[in-house]
Amino acid sequence: MYDNTRRWWGPAPEVVDEPGRDGRCRRDRRRQRRSCGAAGAAQAGARTLLVESGGFLGGAATQSLVLAWCGFFPQRPAPRPEPVVAGVGRAVLEQLCALGIDVAPYYSATGNWNIRLNPEATKIALDRTLAEAGVEVLLHSTLAGVEVADGRIAAVTILDHRGLRRIAARAFVDASGEADLAFGAGIAPCPLHPAGGHRQPASVPARIAGIAPGQPLDKAARAAALAGIERRLGRAELRADGGIMTILPGTDDVWWLAVEVETDGLDGRDLAEAERDGRALVWRGIEALRRHLPGFERANLAATGPHVGIRETRHAASRAPLREAALIAGQRCDDGIARGGWPMEIHHGPGRTEYRPIGGAGFYDIPLGALQAAGLDHLWLAGRTLGADKAAYASARVMGTAFATGHAAGVAAALGDDSAAVRRELTRQGAIV
């Protein structure tokens, strides 16, 4: 919960790596985009339709069980810094609070502030946020075609179980993650890496039930329990350090993030291999924990996500892409419509992560031009589809920052490319610019 100074309301959390099974936090010594765009546009007075291929909202959090919202706070040690994201993101957190979910951030061993999530509560919180904003929602609906005329998207074709329907609009926001709308319109992919370069690996988080009450989640013990198994299986790899394990708020289950997979994230056959290998390696890992880790004798796999947690696929070209140099300088700009505070988190391969810090005050401004599609009027980019170079993308892609860019893209779709007007409306809606 926030108060009107945009600080977190309530007692400061402890500095932790992973919260214990008893709900208290302890130190380890070793160590949403579519929804925002739609809500922002609707609150700016536009008639707004949100199209979602799944049966619920939430993107990677609910579809892939990536149950930590990163990017609401800059990378800074305790005491907790002020947030850099509010607006629609804040509204969703308040809905989670109303459902009894603790959204106080915790400070991890990586030096970042994260917010733990309950996936079912997150679905409901997003439903409520959009309903209150007056957004019409189509679930189980897939983009099937794009009509481009006179340098802009005139209409899209949507497929659901009734069949095909054509939808025309004055403006569009691509918050698909995979830049599906931009690709259909002919302006993606825009490569971030040279030929032969790799995409950042995807993750396969898991929800584990049956762990003994009060069982400490000791990372060193977990790594030792996993040391005897083969950590590589086809496309999948298990982190040698045992990964991240944390209690899920409002439940007795834990979230485990330890398996990553190599995939292009686009091709069905490629994804099938990655999903298969990832699930199998998660199962193998839990079997090892059950055999070798006290308190895990009855542990069982409660769920993996309907989709692996994709970090990077293709990218759309924008008119003013984010650049690494701007992040290193903590650059501010007059047409900034969102802030980013997450470090440049570059995954060079499974288990191989580099963090490059943000300069200046620990955050940077995202210019409106980073959300404007290049060569195509009235198409706005949000979340992972925004324009950025490889290192800047590694910061701006995270879900907290995606709340901010999604909110801004929705307002821009409603108001146009006047950055001053967009900033005024975002401020009116409680965003931080």
Domain harbouring 168, CATH code: 3.50.50.60
d(CA 406, CA 411) in angstroms, rounded, equals: 9
Rounded to an integer, what distance in angstroms lies between the CA atom of residue 313 and that of residue 84? 26
- Is 381 contained in some domain? yes
Q: Indicate whether 34 pLDDT > 80.
A: no
8: in domain: no
> Token pair for residue 237?
């790899």
This prediction's pTM = 0.90
Q: Which of 26-35, 102-111, 289-298, 402-411 has the lowest mean pLDDT?
A: 26-35
Q: Tell me how far apart the alpha carbons of residues 379 and 386 are, in angstroms, rounded to a whole number.
A: 11
What would the two tokens of residue 169 be? 């609009």
Question: What is the rounded average pLDDT of the residues 162-167?
Answer: 98
* Whether 194 and 220 share a structural domain: no
Whether residue 219 sits in one domain with residue 158:
no
Residue 320 CA to residue 278 CA, distance in Å, equals 37
SS (H, E, C) 244-293: EEEECCCCCCEEEECEEECCCCCCHHHHHHHHHHHHHHHHHHHHHHHHHC
Strand partners, 15: 107
* Structural domain contains residue 21: no
Indicate if 182 and 327 belong to the same structural domain: yes
Q: Give the sign of the dihedral formed by CA 339, CA 342, CA 343, CA 347.
A: negative
Q: Does 175 lie in the same domain as 100?
A: yes
Q: Are residues 290 and 327 in the same domain?
A: no
Give the domain range for residue 216: 202-304
Question: Parallel, antiparallel, or unpaired: how do β-strands 379-381 and 172-174 relate?
Answer: parallel
| pLDDT tens, residue by residue, 349-389 | 888 899 999 999 999 999 999 999 999 999 999 999 999 99
pLDDT range class, residue 2, cuts 50, 70, 90: very low
Q: Taking residues 332-337, what's their average pLDDT?
A: 96
Cis before residue 77, ω within 30 degrees of 0?
Answer: no
Q: What is the DSSP string of 316-367?
A: --BSS-B-HHHHHTT---TTEEEEE-S-EEEEEETTEEEEE---TTS-EEEE
In a domain, 179, yes or no: yes
Q: What is the pLDDT of residue 77?
A: 83
Give the domain-ending residue among 256, 281, 304. Answer: 304
Residues 344, 254 share a domain: no
Q: What is the pLDDT of residues 100-159, one digit of tens each?
A: 999 999 998 888 999 999 999 999 999 999 999 999 999 999 999 999 999 999 999 999
Whole-number percent of the chain with pLDDT over 70: 90
In a domain, 68, yes or no: yes
CATH code of the domain containing 274: 3.30.70
Exposed/middle/buried for residue 105 (C-beta within 10 Å: 0-12, 13-18, 19+): buried
Q: Give residue-wise pLDDT tens across range 66-117.
A: 999 999 999 988 788 899 999 999 999 999 999 999 999 999 888 899 999 9
Burial of 115-137, coded b for 16+ CB within 10 Å and e otherwise, reads bbbbbebbbbbbbbbbeebebeb
Structural domain includes residue 17: no
Q: What is the dihedral of CA 35, 41, 43, 48, to 10 degrees?
A: -80
Question: Tell me, what's the pLDDT at 5?
Answer: 32
141 located within any domain: yes
pLDDT value, residue 25: 31
Considering the domain boundaries, does residue 18 fall inside one?
A: no
Quote the CA–CA distance of 347 and 260 in Å, as a whole number.
Answer: 10
At 110 the pLDDT is 83
Q: Which two tokens stand for residue 17?
A: 């790596």
Which pLDDT score is estimated for 197? Answer: 61
Residue pair 327/364 in contact by the 8 Å Cβ criterion: yes
Q: Do 290 and 178 have their domain in common?
A: no
Q: Give SS3 for 183.
A: helix
Q: Please check whether residue 353 is in contact with residue 345, taking contact to mean a CB–CB distance below 8 angstroms.
A: yes
Whole-number Å distance between alpha carbons of 151 and 423? 26
Give the pLDDT score at 192: 57
User: Residues 174-180: what's their mean pLDDT?
Assistant: 96
For the chain, how many structural domains are there in total?
2
Does 431 share its domain with 336? Answer: yes
Residue 35 has pLDDT above 90, yes or no: no
| Residue 324 sits in the same domain as residue 376 | yes
Q: Tell me the three state secondary structure of residue 420.
A: helix
Domain end among 304, 333, 363: 304
Give the Cα separation of 274 and 218 in Å (integer): 28
Q: Are residues 373 and 282 in the same domain?
A: no
| 192 and 213 share one domain | no
Is there a single domain that holds both residue 96 and residue 129? yes
Q: Is 213 helix (H, G, I), strand (E, B) or coil?
A: coil
Of 271, 304, 337, the domain-final residue: 304
